[in-house]
Structure 1
Amino acid sequence: QSGKAHGEQDLKIETTGASRQLIQDTVTAIRANGRQGNASTKTRGEVAGAGKKLWRQKGTGRARMGSIRSPVWRHGGIVFGPKPRSYAKKVSKRQKRTAFREVFLARANAGDLIIVRDLKFDSPKTKAFAALIGKLPLEGKKSLLVYGQPDKNLILAGRNLADLDLTSADSLNVYQLMRYGKVVLTGDAVDIVRARVEGKSHE
């Protein structure tokens, strides 16, 4: 691999003029679905501690107090704190496909997609992988490498590079297309992505 352009490929993908709001909704759903939502706090009924009244109501000169677990006390219960919940948002397959097509086409028209036809490694050597990637016109931007069929040597060689992330063509989404400065696709990944934007594969 020399890192130089050997030609251009016409993807022949037609635009549908999707709105920015549709794309925004899709990206929001993708990010929301990636949240764990397992933050949890204890209310005054759940925090450890006795329920006995600390001192009598009158006659001590102190403020009246009923429980050591009261939210106004240190180590007391939390009022309106977070509880485990799902942040999941639903978007239709058509919406995801339309947003994916529009963003993919926009990145292609902007010259942000790089296709590498033959990307094979006999051994998982990060040094060799970094040397090859260094020849590509990534312009110093954090980039995403999209592969088609899983290649163990490719994945092991590239997973330790700071400015490069890897993903499969099947799992590539709108958020990833928008997040990275450059998107590098292997030859077999191009065929899979084309099938996705044409609606010939399941999301």
Structure 2
Amino acid sequence: MATITMLNMAGQEAGTIELKDEIFGIEPNENAVHDVVKNYLANQRQGTQSAKTRGEVRGGGRKPFRQKGTGRHRQGSSTDPSQIGGGVVFAPKPRDYSYSVPKKVKRLAMLSALSAKVADGEMIVLDELKMEAPKTKEMVATLANIKAGKKPLIITAAKDENVVKSAANIPGVRTALVGTMNVYEIVNHDSFIVTKEAIEKIEEVYL
């Protein structure tokens, strides 16, 4: 088991915590992480893009100019894609980009992402993260104390409105729960800040 030093909100050492190798100590599988990240981004696409084909644009009821004698190319319809105001060739239409990946791949990708954060020294464990009221200034100070970097991801075991609101206006900072965190956000952030209570819940979910 890997042992990590916990910090308090002041950035001081507050004991140690042992991380289970089955979750935080596996050999990261880059293929699984890539598949899940690609799936996440595809599922975020709205798929609402649309353009008109030559059969949908207005006009085209008559030949725009005579066949011969104009010095121009032959043309039978003003809706042809080569004409100004004509339709679009193979026009994009609304579609659903979402698809699913196997649960085992999702699980492997999550464990790989968590293990990579530990291996790279990008995981910061706090003994607790509590605030009396929503205070952006206090959250900024806490992140500076623990040297969180410019793009930290904060994971808590349960929703705390004071923590969420305190971090909401800080550029690059994102908060999530153990149940809502995803592989894309973990690998996309510089540091992974997690409370002791959240670690226990992660191990409970993934063991």
TM range (shorter): 0.7 to 0.9
Gap runs ≥5 in structure 2: 1-8
Do structure 1's residue 51 and structure 2's residue 61 form an aligned pair?
yes
Shift of 1:36: 1.6
Paired position in structure 2 for 1:132: 142
Q: What count of residue pairs does the alignment treat as equivalent?
A: 197
RMSD of Structure 2 on Structure 1 (CA): 1.9
Which residue number corresponds to residue 10 of structure 1? 18
Distance 1:41 1:187 in 2: 51
2:200 to 191, 198, 202: 191
Check whether the contact 1:142–1:182 (CA below 8 A) recurs between aligned residues: yes
- Return the offset for 1:17: 4.2
Is the partner of 1:9 in helix, strand or coil? strand
Among 119, 127, 130, which residue is 1:109 paired with?
A: 119
CA distance in 2, matches of 1:142, 1:160: 13
| Structure 1 contact 159–165 (Cα < 8 Å) conserved | yes
| 1:88 Cα offset (Å) | 1.8
Residue by residue over 1:134-191, the C-alpha shift from the partner in whole angstroms, topping out at 9 and shown as x without a partner, is 11122x3311111221111111111110131112211112222211111111233222
> What is the aligned partner in structure 2 of residue 72 from structure 1?
82
Partner Cα distance (2:163, 2:118) in 1: 24
Tell me the distance in 2 between the aligned counterparts of 1:110 and 1:56.
Answer: 71
Matches of 1:30 and 1:171 in 2, distance apart? 13
Shift, 1:75, TM fit: 1.8
| 8 Å Cα contact 2:28-2:115 kept in structure 1 | no
Distance across 1 between alignment mates of 2:74 and 2:119: 70
Task: Specify which of 34, 56, 63 is matched with residue 73 of structure 2.
Answer: 63
Q: TM-score, normalised by structure 1?
A: 0.87
Q: 136, 148, 151: which one pairs with 2:160?
A: 151
Distance across 1 between alignment mates of 2:161 and 2:32: 36
How much has 1:34 moved relative to structure 2?
1.5
Amino acid at match of 1:65: Q
In the TM superposition, structure 1's runs of 4+ consecutive aligned residues that sit over 4 Å from their partners are 15-18
User: Whose strand proportion is higher, 1 or 2?
Assistant: 2
Identify the residue that residue 31 of structure 2 maps to in structure 1.
21
